[in-house]
Amino acid sequence: MKNNYLNMVGLAHRAGKCSTGEDSILKDIRQQNAKLVILASDIGPQTKKKLTDKCKTYKIPYRIADDRETLSQAIGKSHRVAIAILDAGFAAKIKSLLG
């Protein structure tokens, strides 16, 4: 089950429907481009608070998923603690896989 959502994240990334990096993600949340924000389970407390608060303010769903290693591997970039999914279709599918 777990790997399916990682495959979808990888697909979304290859399709150019993701943003990574705190600044880009915050921008996408503010502009309502982010449809889902995935946070690593080992994200730092400040970053976590900043991103989850922003998600709540703009009513963007978010999920806490695997650790940063696993998330980074899914998109082929290192040290990623958060990924914003910018496509409603991918976001809905990933949310259903994450439960």
* Structural domain boundaries in the chain: 2-98
Q: How far apart are CA 28 and CA 65, in angstroms?
A: 20
Q: Residue-wise pLDDT tens for the chain (99 aa)?
A: 457 999 999 999 999 999 999 999 999 999 999 999 999 999 999 999 999 999 999 999 999 999 999 999 999 999 999 999 999 999 999 999 998
CATH architecture of the domain with range 2-98: 2-Layer Sandwich (3.30)
Positive or negative, the CA dihedral 13, 74, 71, 93 is positive
What pTM was estimated for this model as a whole?
A: 0.95
Give yes or no for a contact between 44 and 52, defined as CB atoms under 8 angstroms apart.
no
SS3 94: helix
